[in-house]
Amino acid sequence: MLRFPVRLTAELSRARLAQRSRPALNPSPVQFVDSADLLHHDSNHPVSHEKIREVISSRSAVVWIGGSEPLRHPGVAHLVRAITGSGHFVFLETDGTLLRRRIHEFQPVPRFFLTVHLEIGARHEPSKGLPASASELAAEGLRAARLSGFLICVHARVHVDTELEAMTQLLQFARSQDVDGVVITPATGVANSAAQQSKTEEARRLIGSRWWEAFSRLVEPALSGERNAVQSVTESGHPVEQEATANEEGVKVA
């Protein structure tokens, strides 16, 4: 069963209420950060301490680190520790191919989700006698993270031609790995058509958790570069804070 952390629910609720009451002073609850904007690709040190201070001082409840593969930056573990230590939840999105090699640099703390991007329709089980594919390496990294005690989130991006059967298979694989959460968003880099958005909503209903469905809508604008990071959730009728009133017996406190 997928579990949404109670503490994250509460902090998202506070961030959204603050953003609605004083939008000029409070950013959206989810802040997207491209690791390349903060870290040299060949250095353990950040590019700009000023930029990191801006991230840390932000009132966003969640910092989503993605963009150019974060695990190619030597200093990314230091960055994650700095942000989680400042009280933010961090979702570090990786394609997973380097995760097994670098997982020892991170600490499994309650505010940190290792977020593995899995391709819909790709094979994630090992192929006998063949070199491991990128998707198989990602699955190996995911398993290593689970065994090391990390909170795990799977991120899947939906294209207009995505087959729901393939989405179902990916979700079955994710559940078999006992992941903590699933985020589904439209694929970026293409026009976000009505058909693609409709397909994305169909895919989200397959998650089986209204908490993670709502969170997927909340992070979507931040990941697509939009500024109004709460509009889609408000319009959907499933804001995250409403979920706090649901039965919490299956909710993992993080």
pTM attached to this predicted model: 0.84
Residue in the block written with tokens 């809508």? 217
**Residue 190: predicted pLDDT:** 54
pLDDT at residue 24, as a whole number: 59
- Please check whether residue 146 is in contact with residue 161, taking contact to mean a CB–CB distance below 8 angstroms: no
Which two structure tokens, joined as six digits, stand for 68? 């150019």
Domains and CATH numbers, the chain: 6-237 (3.80.30.10)
pLDDT exceeds cutoff 90 at 254: no
**Average pLDDT of the chain, as a whole number:** 82
pLDDT in tens, 75-127: 899 999 999 999 999 999 999 999 999 999 999 999 999 999 998 887 766 55
